Each structure stands twice: as structure tokens, then as C-alpha cells.
Structure 1
């Protein structure tokens, strides 16, 4: 059984539509895929409809933007009730902050001599939740950087980079509490991804575990083997589940669906803990 619990569609910063993501996941030989767009559930309906004719199971979710002690982090939330009012309002607050943030980064880039415009970024984002990858894609189109990843440096869009602008984010302890209240489960996404900037200290992870965090995303393309070994040990010490995922973004990144996967027993435990929603299979 092949299970990928972290993917993105055009509902946020992926390049596959939700329907294409489902079809591509089935073609890649996955049995279970989670749709975890940034701070939105906008792709659920299309992804669910695309399950017809496949043997794929869809896990609904979202990747929540969080910050603790000045450090950004992402929280994967699975199988929560998307209509639960408190979590819904908190997600909308974060999403509403994305547009002014993008304008701020565009202004900084223009001041640095990069002729990126809001019109370019809006075209690239389409109906998705606008974010840094859309601005990075515009920079690639302009020939400023060769790839999207090359825009995520201190010179440009990395945390505290020259064109970086902060955003409205969840406190991770609030995120765990809100998702749990909405019947969902939480996994700390790519906790050891040092290339992305400063990482959260282990003592904060321990505090999140005590507050109800369910797991750590251990097997991830941004984690080398020593990091995976350390995180697996930390998960075991704190009683957390260890997941694996691709963090697939379509053609925006070179990562393939199913490049890292989750153990079926771990997936079963996550699904069993959720009461807000259940995995969806084709009828």
C-alpha cells in the first residue's frame, strides 16, 4: 500500500488542478493521497469528483501556516470538519492576509530592480491561494532566477530575505487545538528542513506533543538520512507518529508523487483518530 500524505494543487501553489492531482496520483500507483493545500480546502470538491473510476482513497486536509518564537513552520491538518466555525474563521484570516503580503513582496522586488507585477503573479496564481511560489514563478519567467527554488534565497524570497514580507499565521498550539476541536489530526510538516530557514527547537516540538500533536513528517525530500534518523527517534521519544510524504507541487518542483510515503499502520492510526471527516473512496 503506497500512501502520500502531503500534496498541493492549483487551489494553492501546485500546478496540477485537484482533478489532475487525483488522476496523476492514481497513475503513479498510489493507493492513498492527501490533498493539503495551503490554508484552504478549495480543491476538495473537484478532487472528490475525480475519484470516479479509480481505486484511490482521498484524505482531505490542509497545510496551515504557523509561526512560533519568530520561526515559521507548517502544520499538516487531516480529516477535520471544514465547516467547523472557529477553524474556518482562522483559516480565512490567514488566507485574507496573503494578497497584501504578495503586494508587499512585489513592491520590494520592484525596488530591487525586478519588474514583476501583481498582474503577472495573479495570472500565475489563478484561482489558487497566492503565495511565494507564484512570485518565484514570475521571477523565472522574467529570467531573474533559473528555477523557483533559486528564488528562495536570502537574496530574494527566503525567510528574512531582501524581498520577504511576513504574513498572518497560526500559533501552532492554537492550530493543534483548533484542528482537534474540528475532529482532525495534526502532523508537523518537514520539521528538519534547514534549507528553508531556522527550524523549531525540539523543546517546542515536545510542547506541541503534550498539547495534542499527532505526528512528525519524517520522510521528506528536504530531510537527509541523519535528519530522518534524528526525527524518527524524537517521534518515538515523544509518542508521535512518523509519516512520509512527497510535498508534491506538480511541475513547480522536481519532486514526484510518492517520492516519500507513509507506513500503512501509521496511516491507519491517523485515520482512526479523526472524527471530523473520513477518507473518501470512489463509490
Structure 2
């Protein structure tokens, strides 16, 4: 059994509808997937219908962006939480508002040097989707400033760019506790992706475990082998789940659905930890 536990649809920064992501997983020969759009569960209903149609297992989830006290971005995957949980729902609503305001401010800065308007950006955002920098990148591609998303991030949207605007995010331990309170299973996403920027220390990882971290995404293309060892050692020391995922974004990234997967035993253990929502089984 092969399950891809990290995928995105156009409900956040992927390029395909939730049903199309499910169909892509089925076409790739996977037995299951998790839909983990940024800060939202808006794609769950469509994905559930598609999972039943294709006879494939679905773990509805979400990806939450957090920030440590020393400014390191940490992404947390939440699986099978209660989508109506008041605390988590309120935090995600605040996060989406923050993303929108940040995107508007970045667009304003870009508009000084490029013929970019907010209306242009909106053309690349699906109705109700969580807005993020990838949509700004798509708008820049659309007006011919860059060739693709990667070029936009390399030259204009990275943290050191004059167009960049930081965003306030909750602390990783706060997010972990909220996910647990909502009956979900919190797993650290691509935690040693050093090419993306600074990564957390061993002490910070230990703090996350103490807060209730249930697993670590080890098998991800952005984790170097040295980082994977750090995560495997952490998992071994604390009996954490070890997962593998693609971080699929459709055509938004080179990542291929199913390029890394999680085994049946681990998926079953993850499901048994959840109390907020039931997995969709064929």
C-alpha cells in the first residue's frame, strides 16, 4: 500500500482542483493520499466525493505555516482533525486573513517596478482559495516578467527581496497543541529543508515533541540525507511516525505525485491516533 501524505490543490497554491488531485493519485497507482492545503479545509468535500468515486483512501488534512521565536518558518501537517473545532478554525481564519493582507502588500511593492495590479493577481486565485506568494508568482508569469514560479521566487519573492513582506504566524508548539485539541495528528513537514532557509535546532524539535508532535516527514525531496538522519534519530528516540510524501502542487512545482510515499502500517497508526475525523476508505 502506497499513500502520499502531502498534496495541494487550487484551494491553496496547487494548480488542480481537489478532485483532479485525487484522480492524479489514482492514476499514479497510489492506494491513498492526503489533501493538505494551506490553512484551509475548503477542498475536503470535493476530494471526499472523488475518493469514493475512484475507490482510493483519503486522509483529509491541512498544512499550517508557523514561526519559531527566532524567526524560522516551520510547516506543520495536520491530519484528520475536526474541521469545525473552534480554536483551530479561528486560528486558520486569522492565518488566511494574514496571508491575504501580506499578498496585497507584496503586490503593492511589485507594482512600483512592474505592471502588476491586485486585479491581475486575483485572476490566478481560485474562488475561496487561500492566497499565497505562488499566486503572485503566477501573476508575474502571466504578465511576462518571469518564465515560471521558480524564477519569481528566486528573484522577487524570497525573504531577502526588497518586495518581500513578512507575516506573523503562530508558534509551532501552539499549532501542535491546537491540532491535538481538534483531534488531529500533527506531523512536521520537510523539517530539514535547508535549501529553503534556516532549519530548527534539536532543542526546538524536542520542544515540538513535548507539545505533542506525532510524526516527521522524512522522505521528502527537500530534506537532504543529513537532515533525514536528524529526523530519523528524533523519531527513533521518541517513537514518532516516519512519513514520506511528494508535496504535489500540480504544475506549480516539479514534485511528482507519489514520488515519496508512506507505508500501510504507518498510515494505519496515524489513523488510530486521530479522533477528529474519519479517513475515507474504499
SS, match of residue 246 in structure 2: coil
Please state how far the C-alpha of 1:163 moved relative to its aligned partner.
1.5
CA distance in 1, matches of 2:141, 2:202: 36
Unmatched segments (≥5 aa) in structure 1: none
Unmatched segments (≥5 aa) in structure 2: none
CA distance in 2, matches of 1:78, 1:49: 18
**1:76 aligned partner:** 77
**2:231 aligned partner:** 231
SS, match of residue 222 in structure 2: coil
Please state how far the C-alpha of 1:73 moved relative to its aligned partner.
1.3
CA distance in 2, matches of 1:201, 1:149: 27
CA distance in 2, matches of 1:245, 1:126: 24
Please state how far the C-alpha of 1:32 moved relative to its aligned partner.
1.1
Q: Which runs of 4+ in 1 moved over 3 A?
A: none
Question: Do 2:8 and 2:14's aligned partners in 1 also have CA atoms closer than 8 Å?
Answer: yes
CA distance in 2, matches of 1:185, 1:218: 16
Question: Do 1:80 and 1:182's aligned partners in 2 also have CA atoms closer than 8 Å?
Answer: yes
Question: Do 1:5 and 1:35's aligned partners in 2 also have CA atoms closer than 8 Å?
Answer: yes
CA distance in 2, matches of 1:205, 1:181: 20
What are the residue-to-residue correspondences of 1:47-196 with 2, within 5 Å?
Answer: 47-69=47-69, 70-111=71-112, 113-127=113-127, 128-153=129-154, 155-196=155-196
Question: Do 1:158 and 1:196's aligned partners in 2 also have CA atoms closer than 8 Å?
Answer: no
Question: What's the TM-score, normalizing by structure 2?
Answer: 0.95
CA distance in 1, matches of 2:73, 2:44: 26
Question: Do 2:52 and 2:280's aligned partners in 1 also have CA atoms closer than 8 Å?
Answer: no
CA distance in 1, matches of 2:203, 2:258: 31
Question: Do 1:190 and 1:223's aligned partners in 2 also have CA atoms closer than 8 Å?
Answer: yes
Q: Deviations over 1:197-241 (max 9, x none)?
A: 111112101110011100111111112333323321232223322
**2:249 aligned partner:** 249
Please state how far the C-alpha of 1:170 moved relative to its aligned partner.
2.1
Figure out how many residues of one structure are paired with residues of the other and give that number: 280
CA distance in 1, matches of 2:45, 2:55: 18
Please state how far the C-alpha of 1:277 moved relative to its aligned partner.
0.8
SS, match of residue 152 in structure 1: helix
**2:269 aligned partner:** 269
Please state how far the C-alpha of 1:97 moved relative to its aligned partner.
1.4
* More displaced 10-residue stretch of structure 1: 155-164 or 249-258: 155-164
CA distance in 2, matches of 1:53, 1:110: 44
Question: 2:202 aligned with 1:202, yes or no?
Answer: yes
Question: Do 1:93 and 1:168's aligned partners in 2 also have CA atoms closer than 8 Å?
Answer: no
Please state how far the C-alpha of 1:99 moved relative to its aligned partner.
1.5
SS, match of residue 254 in structure 2: coil
Please state how far the C-alpha of 1:43 moved relative to its aligned partner.
0.3
Please state how far the C-alpha of 1:144 moved relative to its aligned partner.
2.5
